[in-house]
Amino acid sequence: MSGLDPARKPGKIQHTMRSASLAWAPPFYFLYYAAAAALVPFLIVYYQNLGLTGTQIGILAGIPPLVSLFSAPLWGALSDMTQRHKLSLLVAISSAILLALALSTSKVFAWLIPVVSLFAFFSSPIMPLVDSTTMSLLGDEKRHYGRIRLWGAIGWGVIAPVVGWLIKTSSISWAFWSYALIMAAGLLIATGIPVSGRIGAALREGAQTFLTSPRWLAFLTVAFCGGMALSMISNYLFIFLRSLNADEFLLGLSLTAATLSELPVLYFSQHLLRRWTARQLMSAAMLFYAVRALTYSFVKVPWLVLPIQLLHGPTFSLMWLSGVSYADGNAPAGLNATAQGLFSGVMLGFGSAAGALLGGLLYDHIGIVNMFRVTAFGSLFALGFMLLLKKKNHAPSL
């Protein structure tokens, strides 16, 4: 019997085709975030083991987000303009693997600066390109993005304690080799990503929208605040725990606890996005950032950090899923990758760089406990400023 089964509705056929085109997505998200969990949190430990000062660590921690501020939007714009999203992704992944291995051999601060910069340049556009492709392939089912992104949280939570144990029993070099091996598997998965059929738009007109639209400026301001709070927490949490005599296994386990809190947020993301606006979800995330940072400052026993890590979902995940959804839904036609790169560049770029650099200075001058308290105060100040602007109608709703 040939032809389509008349009992099958067009909607079901389209859903089946869309499911097939997204078969690569769950394993890739799993592998990408597993690789990130193996390396990124332990870079601070690596720098500390090299004997670098808090200011030097802050500079190195601030370089990747600062580079991603322009690299993620640049890669997205070039991919949108040339319609070579898949090629851009494969080049970025391959280069990131090689540079991670080069980073493992870098021991001097002056040499670390260019290597870290190049690693950030090639690694930062990976997820914006993947998010853009995923949202494009989801079509009118974009609300399901959270359940695909959920696999990234699982990858992070599974690998972090394993690598932490390997580092504890062997050496920090396992962080770099684990990243390279896992990302190599991700590269193989990425070769199966279908080529998107998006049509490019005039880049100049799109740039004007991003730079002049009050809605986009308000959205990016919130993203900056969230990225800054995230950076001041994530970049210095491991140093804080080590000051409490926590071992590497507990460091990895703290990431697993954070992952557990991401799962319900991502799984029920479609309900959250249907019930509340992006501005409301981002405001809630800023409130939880304040609570999270303040609570860390009172911890005296390292194991007590595990329940606090359960606030990672209501902070980072809530901010990220609402931001990705907003960027996709409000991007100029054909500039979805550019929009995702801009959101990522401001939150994980500009905001994270500012947080990393400020965190390093505060760590050196007032100590890490007070640094967390400043983070909490800053998050509350940003939240109050956002609400004040909304109340006085000086900023449009997101």
pLDDT at 391: 62
* pLDDT surpassing 80 at residue 57: yes
Q: Using one digit for the tens of pLDDT, what is the confidence trace for 139-155?
A: 777 777 888 988 998 99
Mean pLDDT of 82-96: 87
pLDDT at 204: 53
Residue whose structure tokens are 């601030």: 62
Q: What is the number of other CB atoms lying within 10 angstroms of the CB of residue 9?
A: 10
* pLDDT surpassing 70 at residue 118: yes
Would you place residue 175 in the very low, low, confident or very high pLDDT band (cuts 50, 70, 90)?
A: very high
Would you place residue 122 in the very low, low, confident or very high pLDDT band (cuts 50, 70, 90)?
A: very high
Q: Using one digit for the tens of pLDDT, what is the confidence trace for 358-385?
A: 888 898 889 999 999 999 998 998 888 7
Ranked by mean pLDDT, the top range of 129-133, 278-282, 372-376 is: 372-376
pLDDT at 149: 87
* pLDDT surpassing 50 at residue 87: yes
Mean pLDDT of 299-326: 91
Would you place residue 209 in the very low, low, confident or very high pLDDT band (cuts 50, 70, 90)?
A: low
Under a CB-based contact definition with an 8 Å cutoff, are residues 308 and 119 in contact? no
More confident residue, 273 or 299: 299
Of 3.40.50.1100, 1.10.760.10, 1.20.1250.20, 3.40.50.620, the CATH number of 20-391 is: 1.20.1250.20
Q: Using one digit for the tens of pLDDT, what is the confidence trace for 335-348?
A: 777 787 788 878 88
What does the domain layout of the chain look like in residue ranges? 20-391
